[in-house]
C-alpha cells in the first residue's frame, strides 16, 4: 500500500499524537508512507526517516488562494500527489474539508480518520458534511462515541473503530521531581490535588474546574486544583481571572504548557477530574490511568468506554454536585480504587497494540 497521509502540522493535539503513535508503531514494511502537512511541527520532525514528508500551503498561489478565496491552492496538493503516486489518501480529522473535496474531485480513494464528536460539525458547512459522510471509502472512528455520530448521519457501512493509542513507553516520571514540584507550588505533602490537563478552551471546560474548586474548599479546605495546559485566547485568560476574583489563588495553580516535565507535573495529582464537555477518547484520561490516578468525569463521550470499576467514576447526570460527591468519594476512600488495575488496563490501548489493530483495518480495505 502507498498511502499519503494529510495532517495539520505535527502539533501535540490529540489527533496528531494519535497518528504519530500509529505511524511509529505500525509495521511499515506493509505500506509506503508519505505525510503531507502545512508545517513541520515537533511530531513531524520526529517521524521515522523512511517516511517521506511533504509541506503544502507555502506557495505564493496557495497563500493568495487562502487569503482571497479561503481555499487551498489545489496545485500544491496535486503536485504532491503526482510526486508520491499514492494508492489512497488518508485524511486525519474531519477538519480538513478542502482536502476531502479535492480527493473527491480527483477521484482519489480516501480514508477519513475522525477524532471528533458532533460539536465539531459546527465548523463545517452542510456541503462539507455531505461529502464527509458519503465519499470516504473507509471511516476510522476514534471511539464508539465517534462511530455513533456517523451512524446518526446514516453512514453505517465501512465504519471501523480504532481507539486512540497512547505511547506508554513515554509515560516516565521521577517521583522525587514530582515531590519537588509540589513543594515549589507550595502544596503540602498531605493536600489532595485534583488535576486536569488540556488547552484552556471551551471544550475542556475550565469554567467547571473553577466552580468545582470554589465548592470543594467549602467542605474540604485541604485541597488544591492544578490545571496543566496553555491559554491560547481570551477565554483562558478570563477563566484565570475568574479564579483570582473568587480568591482561589492559594488553592489553584495554572501550570501552563509543560513539555519535558509534563508527566512529573501530572504525577503531582492524587486524582484526575476530566471536565470536558464532549471528548471522543481523551489521551489525558489514559495518561492519568497509566500513572495510577483515579478518574472522575461526566459522561462526555469516550470516557464511558474507558473507565472500568476500580478506576474511577463516570457521572451521567451532568449535575456538578454529583461530580463533587464522586470526587469526595475518591478523597475519603469510600469509592474503591485500584491503581495497579488502572495501570494494567490501559496497556490494551498502548500504541504497539492499537497499531496492529489499525494495520488489520487498512489491510481489510486495501
177 lies in the same domain as 79: no
Q: According to the model, what pLDDT value does residue 71 have?
A: 54
CA–CA gap between residue 150 and residue 135 (Å, rounded)? 13
Looking at the chain, how many residues does it have?
366
324 lies in the same domain as 344: yes
178 lies in the same domain as 134: no
Straight-line distance from the first to the last Cα atom of the chain, in angstroms, rounded to the nearest whole number = 7
| Rounded (10°) CA dihedral 342, 258, 195, 297 | -60
127 lies in the same domain as 60: yes
Q: According to the model, what pLDDT value does residue 362 have?
A: 96
149 lies in the same domain as 222: no
* Sheet of strand 192-197: strand arrangement: 252-256, 223-228, 192-197, 271-274, 295-298, 312-315
144 lies in the same domain as 219: no
155 lies in the same domain as 188: no
Structure confidence at residue 68 as a pLDDT band (50, 70, 90): very low
160 lies in the same domain as 172: no
CA–CA gap between residue 318 and residue 333 (Å, rounded)? 23
Q: What is the CATH number of the domain that holds 39?
A: 3.40.50.2000
Note the pLDDT tens digit of each residue in 265-288. Answer: 999 999 999 999 999 999 999 999
**Looking at the whole model, is its pTM more than 0.85?**
yes
Structure confidence at residue 255 as a pLDDT band (50, 70, 90): very high
Q: Which domain holds residue 172?
A: 168-348
245 lies in the same domain as 329: yes
Structure confidence at residue 69 as a pLDDT band (50, 70, 90): very low
225 lies in the same domain as 316: yes
224 lies in the same domain as 135: no
Q: Are 215 and 207 in contact (CB under 8 A)?
A: no
Q: Which residues, in sequence order, are bridge partners of residue 36?
A: 6, 54
Phi–psi pair at 277, nearest 5 degrees: -75, -45
When divided into structural domains, the chain yields a total of 2
174 lies in the same domain as 160: no
44-58, 100-114, 137-151, 207-221: the lowest-pLDDT one:
44-58
Query: What angle, 0 to 180 degrees and rounded to 10, lies between the N-to-C axes of helices 206-219 and 320-332?
Result: 60
Average pLDDT over residues 59-65: 50
Amino acid at each position: 500500500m502507498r498511502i499519503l497521509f494529510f495532517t495539520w502540522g505535527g502539533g501535540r493535539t490529540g489527533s496528531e499524537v494519535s497518528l504519530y503513535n500509529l505511524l511509529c508503531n505500525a509495521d511499515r514494511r506493509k505500506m509506503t508512507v508519505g505525510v503531507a502537512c502545512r508545517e513541520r511541527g515537533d511530531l513531524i520532525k520526529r517521524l521515522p526517516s523512511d517516511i517521506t514528508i511533504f509541506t503544502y500551503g507555502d506557495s505564493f498561489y496557495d497563500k493568495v488562494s487562502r487569503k482571497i478565496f479561503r481555499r487551498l491552492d489545489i496545485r500544491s496538493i496535486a503536485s504532491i500527489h503526482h510526486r508520491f503516486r499514492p494508492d489512497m489518501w488518508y485524511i486525519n480529522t474531519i477538519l480538513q474539508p478542502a482536502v476531502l473535496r479535492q480527493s473527491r474531485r480527483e477521484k482519489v480513494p480516501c480514508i477519513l480518520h475522525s477524532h471528533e464528536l458532533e460539536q465539531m460539525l459546527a465548523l463545517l458547512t452542510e456541503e462539507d458534511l455531505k461529502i464527509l459522510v458519503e465519499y470516504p471509502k473507509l471511516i476510522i472512528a476514534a471511539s464508539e462515541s465517534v462511530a455513533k455520530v456517523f451512524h446518526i448521519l446514516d453512514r453505517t457501512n465501512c465504519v471501523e473503530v480504532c481507539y486512540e493509542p497512547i505511547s506508554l513507553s513515554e509515560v516516565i516520571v521521577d517521583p522525587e521531581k514530582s515531590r519537588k514540584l509540589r513543594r515549589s507550588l507550595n502544596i503540602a505533602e498531605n493536600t489532595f490535588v485534583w488535576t486536569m490537563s488540556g488547552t484552556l478552551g471551551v471544550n475542556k471546560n475550565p469554567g467547571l474546574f473553577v466552580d468545582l474548586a470554589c465548592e470543594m474548599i467549602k467542605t474540604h479546605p485541604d485541597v488544591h486544583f492544578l490545571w496543566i495546559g496553555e491559554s491560547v485566547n481570551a477565554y483562558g485568560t478570563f477563566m484565570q481571572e475568574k479564579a483570582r476574583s473568587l480568591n482561589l489563588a492559594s488553592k489553584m495553580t495554572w501550570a501552563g504548557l509543560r513539555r519535558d516535565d509534563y508527566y512529573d507535573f501530572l504525577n503531582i495529582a492524587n486524582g484526575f477530574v476530566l471536565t470536558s464537555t464532549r471528548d471522543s477518547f481523551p489521551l489525558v484520561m489514559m495518561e492519568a490511568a497509566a500513572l495510577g490516578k483515579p478518574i472522575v468525569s461526566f459522561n462526555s463521550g469516550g470516557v464511558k468506554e474507558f473507565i472500568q470499576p476500580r478506576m474511577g467514576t463516570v457521572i451521567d447526570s451532568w449535575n456538578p454536585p454529583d461530580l463533587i460527591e464522586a470526587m469526595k468519594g475518591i478523597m475519603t476512600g469510600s469509592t474503591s480504587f485500584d491503581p495497579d488495575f488502572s495501570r494494567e488496563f490501559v496497556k490494551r490501548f498502548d500504541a504497539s497494540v492499537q497499531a496492529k489493530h489499525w494495520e488489520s483495518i487498512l489491510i481489510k480495505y486495501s
